[in-house]
Structure 1
């Protein structure tokens, strides 16, 4: 007797929608960087588990599984046409090396436009900024991306103002972030904006990450992003500044230490570091202050130990360079690492 044909596989249960939940959509595509996808998704997933009102969707342009840059294959739960029929809260676009090279997977830019038209805000991770720019969303805006690609982004999209050193940048309802892990920083900032700092801090604790690096914080430390000068005297000065930021590093003191005139020293600094002696010293002192505050030091002691001087000088410096007060910075970092 002929064998009966097997029953069809069960249809997935229809997803129940919570009308009060914010729908967060990650748009995956062929060649996307895995951590660009999973890092921010983990932030929102943990936030939902801890009480945040989020509904998380992972989609691809056509609803098919995608293979990431690492070779890991991701099964998605929906496609763009299904999602673009509903109001969305947040759309996240990950990065891929191909995007920075001007190569976009089929349907990606149309998918970005369709989802953006239905969402409250759109965010990119790493080279995902190229997809936002390619879709026309960043015209006349400020943005950032991975440090390796900032010059390319600026050259390819001249109406775009690129911040080459920020961890993430907000311009209205558009958010862009730097490389890979900065996507986690951005996701934490979005959770904080939605649900408040307490929940965002709990998410950071759960993930054992900092809560959260301010967007204006540099992608690299000052010594790491400064080319090593070939001039021996200047190299010694940079080492001395990094070793003891609180010492007397005024222009006359540095010039005397190097056996150079103050004017010649300034020319050397500009040629080799791209900034003045005072600008370099300020950047190193700011980083030292960030470290001390993160370790629980008071603002008064931090200002004294870094050579910044007074509490008010420290406050003005933090607001000008990071957009946050020292007390707010200390609360974010110190609470997380306790």
Structure 2
């Protein structure tokens, strides 16, 4: 077996790591480093999402897998990018407080819905700050950069812009690319998977997000992540603030002025201290069926697979989903039905 993984964002990186764990031969390819969803993402793990503060898709399995996976990559690669930290979520209305109190009592959410606190000084907030347990932040860009270097040193990474026309199948069901032969091809190309001529059902509803990297000189508070429609997270030496959602855009990796202005208006409403905008960043999220991942064989393309659709929850769902796909590729294990892309072709 020899697997060609196309795309080295969080999906491709997690899958490559899982194949490495299983001693499987693979090559992972990606374009030169650019602004992508994995590099721009906040990297939040939030166990209670949406207006109803409900647990996410396959949450217990995914949280457990993430809690094992990311520290393992830190140990083996000698890095630091995984931090367990609470989320303080703004509850402005009586309805929100009532829902949170219900989540504190419900068996599926009581482990995550914690007590209420006041907002931190120097940061404008209304109502209460609901303490969310089980949350974390992954500095995704640090991890994928370290993996790129690691796999390059192993001779398993190649910088290349691979298109569908570059993959040549033969009569034996093998695939030829760049003078090499592969048994399987896995497309981990994010929102662009839906641009593949044979993967149009994966187009979904991708959304462009813009964030700001900030120096907030008078905000001396690093107790957790603030969530108030936007999020504010400390990144070790600066703050990250975002994100916007745009359903139409021009250049995927270039911040657009209206999005930056939108964030700046929200920022000055909340923070009156001295600030410095270090940079604005933007990328497109691959959103398919409510940000649930898609991992499995592509209908009509024998031997070719897709791993995409992670949306805004990819840090949580990617390790578990990658492990399922790796088990299928290596040991022919049956994939969970809710991961399969085939349903999108119906």
Q: TM-score, normalised by structure 2?
A: 0.24
Higher helix share: 1
Higher strand share: 2
Q: TM-score, normalised by structure 1?
A: 0.24
Report which of the two structures shows the higher radius of gyration computed on alpha carbons: 1
Structure of greater relative contact order (alpha carbons < 8 Å, 6+ residues apart): 2
